[in-house]
């Protein structure tokens, strides 16, 4: 029996080693160490985040706003892959290039018509691009929503998005691939192409795992979403990318050294 247990442990260790080597060879790094939440900080609401095996588990609580478990590091150009399983009653999402500031901010970008558009964000509000996780009947999972700013940027309506809507698997693990390269953001759900967005409002920011607020809805208390295999490959800056130091972020606060200046 001891010999069997030893051999089993060796096999498990070898599989873990091979997985780490494979990640290193293809340029991906794991964003979750499988032991604790070092490198992550919770922002926004008070939903709970815990570790169960190789999974991060978010659990909804009543009477709180949207909650976000955010990477401490910011990322600009990258490929992000993640697996998730969500309760059918919950709404969630993966934030990319997202931010939170202590004072009010006004972001400036270019709309689909080529004209300048602005988005005002309240102090302390987590905001930025969100790759939607939507188990509802409309099935907009892998669409792109602008959290805390402009709302939907790329929903999954229409015949052209029928395959993406059908790709979501209820009560099962789903896989996302998210590519952000300059102003070009693309998503895939379970290998099926979904969103294809060009937007220049934000060039860098943190990645976050969202547990959406549920208000006072008793039926949604304690519902969970799980994430695992969170890995990222950083990409080099492209000619089309907005330089980090030249993002269209304006300080709109009344006091402080940043007033009327632009910043990254």
**pLDDT value for 1:** 52
Alpha-carbon distances of 145 from 57, 198, 229, 252, rounded to whole Å:
22, 13, 23, 24
CA–CA dist 223, 209 (Å, integer): 15
Query: What's the topology of domain 31-251?
Result: Jelly Rolls (2.60.120)
Cα 253 from Cα 202, distance rounded (Å): 19
- Give the pLDDT score at 161: 98
Q: Is the pTM of this model over 0.95?
A: no
- Between strands 174-181 and 184-189, the pairing is antiparallel
Collapsing DSSP to helix, strand or coil, 172 comes out as coil
Residue with tokens 């939907």: 152
What is the phi-psi region of residue 168: left when phi exceeds 0, alpha when psi lies from -120 to 50, beta otherwise? beta
φ/ψ of residue 243, rounded to 5: -55, 140
Four-CA torsion 82, 86, 90, 91, nearest 10 degrees: 20
Q: Which residue has 């099935």 as its token pair?
A: 139
pLDDT of residue 241: 44
Amino acid 134: pLDDT: 97
Angle at 56 between CA 40 and CA 205, to 5 degrees: 35
User: What is residue 188's predicted lDDT score, i.e. its pLDDT?
Assistant: 98
pLDDT at 218: 93
CA 44 vs CA 17, 20, 235: distances in Å: 36, 32, 29
Q: How many residues does the chain have?
A: 264
The span from the CA of 211 to the CA of 208, in Å, is: 10
Phi, psi of 106 (to 5 degrees): -125, 120
Positions in the chain whose pLDDT score sits under 50: 4, 6, 8-23, 240-264
């Amino acid at each position: 029996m001891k010999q069997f247990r030893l051999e089993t442990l060796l096999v498990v260790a070898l599989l873990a080693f091979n997985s780490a080597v494979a990640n290193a060879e293809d340029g991906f790094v794991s964003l979750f160490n499988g032991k604790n939440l070092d490198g992550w900080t919770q922002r926004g609401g008070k939903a709970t985040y815990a570790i169960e095996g190789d999974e991060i588990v978010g659990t909804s609580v009543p009477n709180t706003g949207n909650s976000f478990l955010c990477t401490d590091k910011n990322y600009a150009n990258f490929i992000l892959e993640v697996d998730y399983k969500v309760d059918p009653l919950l709404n969630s999402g993966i934030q990319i290039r997202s931010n939170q500031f202590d004072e009010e901010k006004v972001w400036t970008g270019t709309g689909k018509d080529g004209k300048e558009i602005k988005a005002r964000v309240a102090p302390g509000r987590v905001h930025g691009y969100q790759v939607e996780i939507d188990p509802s009947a409309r099935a907009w999972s892998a669409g792109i929503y602008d959290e805390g700013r402009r709302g939907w940027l790329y929903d999954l309506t229409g015949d052209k998005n029928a395959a993406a809507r059908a790709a979501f698997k209820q009560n099962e693990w789903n896989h996302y691939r998210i590519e952000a390269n300059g102003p070009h953001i693309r998503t895939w759900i379970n290998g099926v192409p979904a969103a294809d967005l060009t937007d220049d409002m934000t060039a860098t920011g943190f990645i976050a795992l969202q547990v959406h607020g549920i208000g006072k809805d008793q039926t949604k208390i304690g519902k969970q979403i799980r994430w695992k295999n969170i890995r990222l490959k950083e990409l080099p800056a492209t000619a089309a990318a907005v330089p980090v130091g030249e993002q269209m972020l304006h300080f709109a606060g009344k006091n402080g050294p940043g007033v009327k200046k632009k910043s990254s």
